[in-house]
Chains A and B, each alone.
Chain A
Amino acid sequence: MENEAGALSRVAGLFSARGYNIESLTVAPTEDETLSRMTIVTRGSDDVIEQITKQLNKLIDVVKVVDLSEAGHIERELMLVKVRAEGEWREEMKRMSDIFRGRIVDVTDKTYTIELTGAGYKLDAFLEALDKGAILETVRTGASGIGRGDRILKL
């Protein structure tokens, strides 16, 4: 979409005004500074998704819309998890992070902050696998997506 003030609120407003759900929404500028790119994760029947696509296209600030889920695509989300890292947990948290290919990016004598990237379900699985008592804080970016191969969203 056009990299204009207010473009984000038009999209967010559309979803709330028409009762569509947003599971996540990410937005950032692109290599073309006049454009920004948004990935929205939403759920609905085929009819609802069709309406959402049309309604998004109708917004003047929206330049192009693709439904990534229609074909092969890659979806990634980044999560930071702060966990307890005292006593027996210190070794356990390191091990879990390694299994899920996480990286410990901040260390104190009581905590680790683990960075993990992957599809949403992988991040969910990591949180499932951790002892609930060990989780102090989580923050997730929401998904970013891109088509596989030569499926390219560009002007």
Chain B
Amino acid sequence: MELTGAEIVVRCLAEEGVEFVFGYPGGAVLNIYDEVFKQNKFKHVLVRHEQAAVHAADGYARASGRTGVALVTSGPGATNAVTGIATAYMDSIPLVVISGQVPTAAIGMDAFQEVDMVGITRPCVKHNFLVKDVKDVAVTIKKAFYLASTGRPGPVVVDIPKDVTQHKTEFVYPKKVSMRSYNPVIKGHPGQVKRAVQMILEARRPMLYTGGGVVLSNASEELTQFARLLGFPCTSTLMGLGGYPATDPLFTGMLGMHGTYEANMAMQHCDVLIAIGARFDDRVIGNPEHFFQDGRRIIHIDIDPTSIAKRVKVDVPIVGNVKDVLAEMIKLIQASKEKPDQPALKTWWTQIELWRARDCLKYDRDSSLIKPQYVIEKMYEVTRGEAYVTSDVGQHQMWAAQYYKFDQPRHWINSGGLGTMGFGMPAAMGVQFAHPEATVACITGEGSIQMNIQELSTCKQFNLPLKIILLNNRYLGMVRQWQEFFYGNRYAESYMDALPDFAKLAESYGHVGMKIEKPEDVEGALQEAFAMKERLVFMNFITDQAENVYPMIPAGKGLSEMILV
């Protein structure tokens, strides 16, 4: 039987086992929406802004490990989606974004609500397609899901002109698709893996530097086994948190610009650095010239060859899937008669413990003001470390990363690469859809939350019982901190005046609002809020305005040049 392009789109999504489509309708996608209306295979989630649709699909993908799907109309719908797409691209998140386009005959005519979506998104997608013929709809969507979720994941845009959704053709959904130009490497090169294992067994001051690739590859178990087998210290990037259990003694905390003293020092002074699904980002190693350390050898495992030797020269590059490569290494290590030099390892750990004893995350616990760190610590206790936590971007994001100890992967969800304010709440919606029974919290700032505050309405419509933890410092705090440190206290436009009464605002959307102004009220309020399993609770914590994130490595400096409290 012949189906219309719109029917085919919907059938393809069903074939892919899609559970949720996050979207917003408009002229160019009306045919598709009509088919969405008629089906019951997946649920459509109507957001209040297309950026939020993409962030929600993204949050769903990060929390579930599946591909997130968003549907937007042409023109402004498409451009609104771009920030979401770029956010997912920078963090390698699998998404399929379907955008409407003006009819093929109108393309290039400056038609109503026409934008060159393929052109606009080209630099921030893994791949994109403009489908000009209804016969190509099914195979293109198949390719889109395949590309998004394999290799280094990423967002794929499928732009579909309105007439294509009307035209008819026979529907066949391909079972498999292969592309001659796309063959991601999974297994590491055996020779390289052997060389790496040899180097690992000879290490005297080893360090495991793990990143988002561990989470993306679902390799937490392998990583944990690998580290424990060797007894090596382990650090993680912002994106990798939860990939290795944070409460494990081998874990030294996050590294990088706001990483712990012990993690950064060990990273700088190790003799064998094993980078696993991490990309030597500038927020992590700072200036590559300062990062360089004579005599330190580097092993780098990454599925994307462009991540290797991009900013830092490496000694043993291994292109492959983290999960497979680690499993192979574990086998070789177990089979080997050699073991790392235990006295040397012990000396190294003594050094690391000395660094750890600096207690770089200490803060004033006797303050009469609410310290943001304290809120996160208490929240960690109240949720027993089991919540899914999303965040926005700024100081609150760093405190969340530093003080909430993630023991499980896919529980920490934030925008690291693009640093998109406004990500937190829509992402949390996606997480709650992925895990309806779980506790989902969004840690945010009064600047960030206002970039997608309208989603409180979506949360009401779909009864999403999120817990919004607003660390309200009445400043664009991260900006203010830079201005304090590097711009002579000139706080240019980093002060937020005329803030709404957030509790009342939340109430007006039909949620529960709270305002917490005293340290002694923090714990009780959190307990009360998290006990409300059925309700969204918006907690407005009035925090110490002057608090800064420590440690901090100034941009362009080296890892051992930290500013400490």
B290 part of interface (Cβ distance < 8 Å):
no
Beta-carbon contact of B306 and A58 below 8 Å:
yes
Q: A9-B119, A58-B304 are contacts. A47–B181 as well, Cβ < 8 Å?
A: no
B459 beta carbon closer than 8 Å to chain A: no
Cβ 8 A contact of A51, one of B123, B181, B306: B306
Give the chain B neighbours of A55 by CB distance below 8 A: 306
Given known contacts A13-B123, A54-B306, A55-B306, is B130 in contact with A1 (CB within 8 Å)?
A: no
The chain B residue sitting closest to A1, CB to CB, is: B181
Given contacts A2-B181, A51-B310, contact A10 B122 (CB under 8 A): yes
- Whether B126 contacts A57 by the Cβ 8 Å rule is no
A residues near B126, Cβ cutoff 8 Å? 60
Q: How many residues of B contact A (CB 8 A)?
A: 17
Could you tell me the distance between the alpha carbons of A155 and B180 in the complex, rounded to whole angstroms? 9
Q: B208 → chain A, closest Cβ, in Å?
A: 25
User: A61 at interface (Cβ–Cβ under 8 A)?
Assistant: yes
Interface residue from A10, A60, A155 paired with B179 (Cβ < 8 Å) = A60
Q: Are B119 and A60 in contact (CB under 8 A)?
A: no
**Which residue of the partner chain, among B147, B181, B305, contacts A62 with CB atoms under 8 Å?**
B181
Residues from 119 to 134 in B contacting A, C-beta threshold 8 Å: 119, 122-123, 126-127, 130
Residues 1-44 of A at the B interface (beta carbon under 8 Å) = 1-2, 5-6, 9-10, 13, 17
- Separation of A63 and B179 alpha carbons in the complex (Å): 9
Decide yes or no whether B182 CB sits under 8 A from chain A: yes
B309 contacts A by Cβ under 8 Å: yes
Chain A: minimal CB distance from B292 (Å): 14
Q: What residues on B are CB-neighbors of A58 within 8 Å? A: 304-306
Interface residue A50 (Cβ < 8 Å from any Cβ of B): yes
- By a CB distance below 8 angstroms, the chain B residues around A17 are 123
Q: Determine the chain B residues whose CB is within 8 A of the CB of A1 once the complex forms.
A: 181
Query: Which of chain A's residues has its CB closest to B132's CB?
Result: A5
Contact B180 A63 (CB under 8 A): yes
Min distance, Cβ A60 to any Cβ of chain B, angstroms: 4
Q: A51-B310, A55-B306 are in contact. List 15 more A-B contacts (CB 8 A).
A: A5-B130, A10-B122, A13-B122, A17-B123, A51-B306, A54-B305, A54-B306, A57-B305, A58-B305, A60-B126, A60-B147, A60-B181, A60-B182, A61-B181, A63-B181
Per-position contact with B for A128-155: 1 when CB-CB < 8 Å, else 0?
0000000000000000000000000001
CB distance from B75 to the nearest CB of A (A): 20
Q: B118 in the interface, Cβ–Cβ < 8 Å? A: yes
25 chain-A/chain-B pairs, Cβ below 8 angstroms:
A1-B181, A2-B181, A5-B130, A6-B118, A6-B122, A6-B130, A9-B119, A9-B122, A10-B122, A50-B309, A51-B310, A54-B305, A55-B306, A57-B305, A58-B304, A58-B305, A58-B306, A60-B147, A60-B179, A60-B181, A61-B181, A62-B181, A63-B180, A64-B181, A155-B180
The 0/1 profile, CB within 8 Å of A marked 1, for residues 104-141 of chain B is: 00000000000000110011001100100000000000
Alpha-carbon separation in the docked complex, A47 to B311 (Å): 10
- Complex-state Cα separation, A47 to B312, whole angstroms: 10
Task: Return chain B residues, CB-CB under 8 Å to A9.
Answer: 119, 122
Binding site for A on B (CB under 8 A): 118-119, 122-123, 126-127, 130, 147, 179-182, 304-306, 309-310
Q: Residue among A6, A50, A57, A60 with the most chain B CB within 10 A?
A: A60
Q: Nearest residue in A to B305 (C-beta to C-beta)? A: A54
For the complex of A and B, list the 6 residue pairs with the smallest distance between their C-beta atoms, beginning with the closest: A63-B181, A60-B127, A54-B306, A54-B305, A17-B123, A13-B122
Minimum CB distance partner of A5 in chain B: B130
What distance in Å separates the Cβ of B178 from its nearest Cβ neighbour in chain A?
13
The residue from A6, A47, A60, A62 contacting B309, defined by CB atoms under 8 A apart: A47
Q: How far is the CA of A7 from the CA of B515 in the complex (A)?
A: 54
Chain B residue nearest to A57 in the complex (CB): B305
Per-residue interface assignment for chain A, residues 45 to 56, with 1 indicating a CB less than 8 Å from any chain B CB and 0 otherwise: 001001100110
> What residue in chain A is nearest B306 (Cβ atoms)?
A54
Question: Which chain B positions have C-beta within 8 A of A13?
Answer: 122-123
Please give, as numbers and ranges, the residues of chain A lying within 8 Å of B182 by CB-CB distance.
60
- Most A CB contacts (10 A, CB to CB) among B118, B130, B181 go to B181
Roughly how many angstroms separate A57 CA and B309 CA in the complex, as a whole number? 15
B501 smallest CB distance to A (angstroms): 44
**Could you say which residues of chain B place their CB within 8 Å of the CB of A6?**
118, 122, 130
Report A-chain residues with C-beta under 8 Å of the C-beta of B309.
Answer: 47, 50-51
Contacts of A64 in B (CB 8 A): 181
Query: Bound complex: CA of A133 vs CA of B483, how far in Å?
Result: 58
In angstroms, Cα B310 to Cα A51, docked, is 7
How close is B123's CB to chain A, nearest CB, in angstroms? 5
A29 to B304 alpha-carbon distance, docked (Å): 29
A84: shortest Cβ distance to chain B, in Å? 41
Cα A60 to Cα B127 with chains together (Å): 7
Docked complex: A43-98 residues within 8 A CB-CB of B:
47, 50-51, 54-55, 57-58, 60-64
